[in-house]
């Protein structure tokens, strides 16, 4: 079976890297050989599909990059699943791969092993290793008819129902099975037409029916030669099953009993292709499939409500389940299947709330928390979303990484919220786009090397273009706050048309001075004081080194982010005095900014827990904690998520090596392996550490993040420095709880740690 010629295909539910609106995008397969003729054919196919579906002619984007091309186009907001099907079909067809779904291949392994005596062996379940291997083999060796039917059934494509392949049931293994519908689908080869197989198939069907399951059987020959007819029948049978037209326990006899042979089939009706994948071998069948998919997905009521909301200049939030008009305390929500007519909406009760987006490579979560604290001090009941979860008035509503559109919608749907601060990460913008069309302010902290290689993003300019998608949400009354010390942002700002505010470490930086001279807003440090210039007035916010987040001025990256946060808060309408008061106290309590630059002392031993996750962040952390000026030894915990290129992992390890640590403990991040084998990331980092001169006996591997953090604590002695970047939220909570217990117990270096220590491999 040929691989799909794309790495990723996705819906774009909001403004994105390619255009300001909704649509679909895919990334061509790395290493795929194609020319401009294929790209032109893709474009032509998209336009053909648009015309067939009645979609307007709008933007189509081909974004070339180092490993291929991003193919994207605008599509109606209520037909985005269909848009992804259009995109995939258009690209498959453009490449004109030399294969046909009608090409017959030999049938694979039978579903029950036939012995020489003609008897059928039984498999016992629950599954032993032999049975598991048998089923895995069936999946790996699936034949073309099975692949065709699986393309229709997988990913809930058929009426939203979940089908499984090779489902064990008693002594049998079902080809395809849906538990919700109690429905099995079996495909038979020609050997099922002999007497023995007719009898065993009949016995099998009776057994399956006794379990309350309906069985549909089709010849492999028919799946290959009459694909559309078979798919149409399955489509209709599932519809009937959903409506209750088919009795539970009824079964369809074997296809071998319904026809004398695979070659002697009845005359078939006009070909029909049920919604699944569009046929790449026949454009008319493909367009018929896409029309049916679009018709099934279309929601005219949703589009009417969107247009009415836009006419009232109100926010509109939608996902697969729910629609919200307005934000926070000025919002109302409806289930997607129960949408009101525009004249039933209480328009006068709905409104937006002050909203800020925060993005960048480093410091996003800290800045979100700081802005939420400023908003709360201003008197607003505030919702915020970040990599740790969704919060309202400081209370957690959801735990986990909610730095994408789902987190933003959850925060904005809090019915008592009066303001919202939303972390807006790169991944969410690339996968889905922005959750909202309008924000009062947006803040880009910086651009640093991270996440290269995904979605065609390969360098800092690519990354900056993604981060600056937030500019699409800023209108003439808003403010986009940018880092003037970042050369990439300086360069790319020339393409922006929204109002800009600039911050820098030096308030008198020529760029900032020129911006102020033109009536612009800025912030930065002058003679140790943090200054804010907004609406033609300059405010002294206090001594920068006295602000807890700056760690007495050593955490220069936090000083910069504080300056940007002050500008962003001003754009939201928060008074300078409130901003100053919040900066003077935020960070004094460990609960203000958990997992970011948290500090414990045990005698002269210092322990820092942080989130540093890329070379720039780790470099800043090591500088902030004084790793270069230490008098004792340095120990570090090091790991990374798996969705980075090998070069990115090596760069993090090289940054650590430059600090000459006496101990490095390598770890995994549970749940963030993202396709890499356990220990693979640690092995790559270990190789780089050795290459950079770290002795082998100074490197340990302990893949569990909590146990990895315990090793430096057990190793430490008075005067040492421990730097513990911890990334998984539950692991961080366990480690900080341990450190708090150690503090309460008056623990000192060299004493046993509370709890047992798992082993590490040197």
Q: Which residue has the higher pLDDT, 114 or 545?
A: 545
pLDDT at 251: 34
Name which residue leads in pLDDT, 344 or 243.
344
Given a contact cutoff of 8 angstroms between Cβ atoms, the answer to whether 356 and 442 are in contact is: yes
Residues with Cβ < 8 Å from 308, sequence gap 6 or more? 342, 345
Q: Choose among 530, 614, 526: nearest CA to 564.
A: 530
CB-facing half-sphere around the CA of 209: CA atoms within 13 A: 16
**Which residues on adjacent β-strands are paired with residue 168?**
173
Q: Which residue has the higher pLDDT, 221 or 329?
A: 329
Assigned token pair, 555:
């955490």
Sequence-ordered strand ranges (E) for 372-499: 382-386, 389-392, 395-399, 419-423, 441-444, 479-483
Across 342-348, average pLDDT: 96
Q: Which of 179-188, 361-370, 518-527, 681-690 has the lowest mean pLDDT?
A: 179-188
The pLDDT-based confidence of 493 (bands split at 50, 70, 90) is very high
Decide: 419 and 382 in contact? Cβ < 8 Å. Answer: yes
Q: What are 218-264's pLDDT values in tens digits?
A: 888 888 777 777 887 888 888 888 776 543 333 333 332 233 333 33
Higher-confidence position of 308 and 124: 308
Question: Rounded distance, CA 717 to CA 747, Å?
Answer: 12
Higher-confidence position of 528 and 289? 528
In percent, the amount of the chain with pLDDT more than 70 equals: 86
Nearest to 355 by CA among 320, 398, 322, 326: 326
> Is 333 within 8 Å of 397 (Cβ atoms)?
no
**Residue 3 pLDDT grade (very low, low, confident, very high; cuts 50, 70, 90):** low
2 contacts: CB under 8 Å, gap ≥ 6: 97, 99
Model confidence over 159-187: pLDDT tens digits? Answer: 788 888 888 887 788 889 998 888 899 88
Q: What is the DSSP string of 120-143?
A: B----TTT-HHHHHHHHHHHHT--
Dihedral pair phi/psi, residue 401, rounded to 5°: -80, 105
Mean pLDDT confidence for 29-57:
94
108 vs 668 pLDDT, higher one: 668
- pLDDT at 40 exceeding the cut of 90: yes
Dist CA 730 CA 743 (whole Å): 20
Q: How many angstroms separate the CA atoms of 551 and 445, rounded?
A: 18
Helix, strand, or coil (residue 172)? strand
**Mean pLDDT for the stretch of residues 96-104:** 38
pLDDT of residue 582: 98
pLDDT at 195: 59
- Tracing tokens 């002795």 back to the chain, one arrives at 695
Question: Which element (helix H / strand E) includes 588?
Answer: none
Give, rounded to a whole angstrom, the gap between the first and last alpha carbons of the chain. Answer: 43
**Contact of 434 with 406, CB cutoff 8 Å:** no
419-423/521-526 β-pairing? unpaired
pLDDT at position 98 over 50: no
pLDDT for 128 equals 46
Dist CA 91 CA 49 (whole Å): 12
Q: pLDDT by residue (tens digit) across 626-662?
A: 999 999 999 999 988 777 788 888 999 999 999 999 9
In this structure, are residues 180 and 160 in contact, taking their beta carbons and an 8 Å threshold? no
Look at the alpha carbons of 736, 741, 742, 744 in this order and tell me if their dihedral is positive or negative: positive
Closest CA to 79 of 329, 312, 237, 294: 294
* Sheet of 183-188, strands arranged across: 164-169, 172-178, 183-188, 214-219
Whether the per-residue pLDDT at 727 is higher than 90: the answer is no
State the average pLDDT over residues 484-506. 96
pLDDT at 29: 92
Residue indicated by tokens 């779904």: 101
Confidence bin at 673 (pLDDT 50/70/90): low
Q: Lowest-pLDDT range, 146-155, 495-504, 592-601, 720-729?
A: 146-155
Q: What is the average pLDDT across 188-199?
A: 64
How open is the CA angle 43-47-49, to the nearest 5 degrees? 115
Taking the CA of residue 279 as centre, how many other CA atoms within 13 Å lie in the half-sphere pointing to its CB? 21
Which range of 206-220, 556-570, 676-690 scores highest in mean pLDDT? It is 556-570
pLDDT at 239: 80
Find the range with the poorest average confidence among 33-42, 518-527, 635-644.
635-644
Examine the pLDDT at 412 and tell me if it is beyond 70: yes
Give residue 341's pLDDT.
96
Q: What is the pLDDT of residue 417?
A: 97
Which ranges of 343-404 does DSSP label H, i.e. alpha helix? 364-378
pLDDT of residue 256: 28
Nearest-angstrom CA–CA distance, 294 and 298: 6
**In whole numbers, what is the pLDDT of the chain averaged over residues?**
85
Predicted confidence at residue 662, as pLDDT, reads: 96
Contacts of 10 (CB under 8 A, 6+ apart): 24, 25, 26, 84, 431, 432
> Where residue 127 falls among pLDDT bands split at 50, 70, 90?
very low
Residue 190 is predicted with a pLDDT of 61
Res 124: pLDDT: 31
Coil, strand or helix at 82 = helix
Best CA proximity match to 241, nearest among 155, 319, 311, 180: 180
Instruction: Report the DSSP beta bridge partners of residue 332.
Output: 325
Token code pair at residue 18: 């390619």
What is 314-352 written as a DSSP string? Answer: --EEE-SSEEEES-GGG-EEEETTSPPPGGGS-GGG---
- Residue 424's pLDDT is what? 97
Question: In the predicted model, what is the mean pLDDT of residues 209-219?
Answer: 85
- pLDDT (tens digit, 9 = 90+) per residue, 700-714? 999 899 999 999 999
pLDDT class for 614, splitting at 50, 70, 90?
Answer: confident
DSSP class of 677: P
Local confidence band at 671 (pLDDT 50, 70, 90 cut-offs): low
At 100, the pLDDT band (50, 70, 90 cuts) reads very low
Q: Please give the domain boundaries of the chain with CATH numbers for all domains.
A: 6-97 (3.30.310), 129-279 (3.40.960.10), 355-585 (3.40.1190.10), 598-744 (3.90.190.20)
Which pLDDT band, with edges at 50, 70 and 90, does 197 fall under?
low
**pLDDT 10s digits, 428-461:** 999 999 999 999 999 999 998 776 888 999 999 9
Whether the pLDDT of residue 724 is over 50: the answer is yes
Least confident of 83-92, 348-357, 370-379, 671-680: 671-680
Contacts of 429 (CB under 8 A, 6+ apart): 16, 17, 359, 466, 467, 469, 470
Is-contact 108 141, C-beta < 8 A?
yes
Give the pLDDT of residue 334. 95
């Amino acid at each position: 079976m040929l691989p799909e010629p794309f790495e990723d295909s996705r819906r774009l539910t909001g403004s994105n890297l390619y255009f300001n609106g909704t649509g679909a995008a895919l990334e061509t397969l790395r290493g795929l050989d194609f020319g401009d003729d294929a790209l032109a054919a893709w474009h032509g196919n998209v336009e053909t599909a648009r015309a067939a579906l009645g979609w307007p002619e709008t933007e189509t984007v081909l974004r070339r990059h180092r490993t291929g091309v991003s193919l994207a186009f605008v599509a109606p907001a209520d037909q985005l699943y269909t848009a992804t099907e259009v995109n995939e079909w258009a690209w498959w067809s453009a490449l004109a791969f030399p294969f046909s779904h009608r090409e017959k291949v030999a049938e694979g392994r039978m579903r029950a092993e036939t012995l020489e005596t003609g008897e059928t062996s039984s498999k016992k379940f629950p599954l032993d290793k032999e049975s598991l291997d048998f089923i895995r083999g069936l999946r790996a060796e699936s034949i073309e008819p099975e692949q065709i039917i699986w393309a229709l059934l997988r990913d809930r494509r058929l009426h939203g129902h979940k089908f499984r392949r090779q489902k064990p049931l008693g002594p049998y293994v079902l080809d395809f099975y849906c538990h919700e519908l109690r429905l099995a689908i079996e495909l038979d080869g020609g050997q099922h037409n002999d007497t023995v197989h007719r009898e065993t198939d009949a016995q099998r069907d009776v057994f399956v029916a006794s379990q309350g399951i309906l069985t549909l059987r089709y010849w492999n020959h028919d799946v290959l030669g009459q694909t559309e007819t078979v798919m149409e029948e399955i489509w209709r049978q599932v519809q009937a099953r959903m409506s209750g037209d088919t009795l539970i326990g009824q079964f369809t006899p074997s296809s071998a009993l319904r026809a004398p042979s695979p070659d002697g089939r009845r005359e078939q009706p006009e070909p029909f292709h049920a919604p699944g994948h569009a046929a790449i071998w026949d454009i008319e069948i493909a367009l018929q499939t896409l029309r049916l998919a679009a018709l099934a997905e279309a929601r005219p009521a949703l589009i009417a409500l969107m247009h009415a909301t836009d006419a009232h200049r109100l926010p509109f939030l939608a996902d697969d389940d729910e629609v919200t008009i307005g934000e926070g305390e000025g919002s109302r929500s409806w289930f997607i299947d129960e949408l009101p007519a525009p004249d039933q909406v209480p328009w006068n009760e709905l409104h937006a709330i002050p909203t800020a987006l925060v993005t960048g490579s480093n410091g996003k979560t800290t800045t979100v928390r700081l802005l939420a604290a400023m908003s709360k001090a201003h008197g607003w009941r505030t919702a915020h979303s970040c990599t740790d979860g969704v919060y309202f008035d400081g209370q957690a509503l959801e735990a986990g990484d909610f730095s994408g559109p789902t987190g933003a919608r959850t925060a904005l749907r809090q019915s008592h919220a009066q303001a919202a601060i939303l972390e807006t990460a790169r991944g969410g913008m690339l996968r889905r786009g922005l959750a909202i069309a309008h924000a009062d302010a947006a803040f880009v902290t910086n651009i640093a090397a991270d996440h290269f290689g995904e979605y065609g993003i390969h360098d800092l300019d690519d990354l900056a273009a993604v981060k600056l998608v937030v500019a699409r949400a800023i209108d003439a009354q808003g403010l986009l706050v940018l880092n003037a010390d970042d050369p990439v942002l300086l360069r790319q700002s020339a393409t922006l048309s929204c109002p800009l505010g600039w911050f820098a470490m030096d308030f008198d930086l020529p760029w900032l001075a020129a911006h102020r001279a033109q009536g612009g807003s800025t912030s930065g440090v002058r003679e140790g004081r943090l200054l804010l210039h907004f609406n033609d007035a300059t405010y002294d916010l206090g001594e920068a080194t006295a602000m807890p987040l700056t760690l007495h001025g050593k955490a220069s990256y936090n000083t910069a982010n504080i300056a940007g946060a002050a500008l962003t808060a001003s754009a939201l309408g928060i008074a300078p005095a409130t901003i100053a008061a919040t900066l003077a106290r935020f960070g004094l309590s460990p609960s203000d900014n958990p997992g970011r630059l948290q500090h414990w002392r045990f005698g002269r031993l210092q322990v820092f827990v942080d989130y540093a996750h890329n070379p720039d962040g780790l470099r800043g952390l090591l500088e902030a904690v004084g790793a270069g000026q230490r008098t004792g030894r340095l120990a570090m915990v090091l790991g990374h998520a798996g969705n980075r290129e090998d070069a990115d992992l090596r760069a993090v390890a090289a940054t650590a090596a430059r600090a000459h640590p006496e101990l490095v403990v390598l770890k995994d991040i549970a749940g963030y392996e993202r396709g890499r084998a356990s220990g693979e990331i640690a092995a790559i980092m270990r190789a780089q550490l050795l290459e950079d001169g770290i002795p082998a006996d100074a490197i340990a591997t302990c893949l569990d993040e909590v146990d990895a953090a315990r090793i430096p604590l057990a190793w430490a002695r008075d005067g040492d420095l421990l730097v513990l970047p911890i990334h998984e939220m539950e692991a961080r909570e366990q480690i900080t709880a341990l450190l708090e217990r150690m503090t309460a117990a008056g623990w000192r270096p060299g004493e046993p740690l509370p709890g047992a220590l798992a082993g590490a491999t040197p």
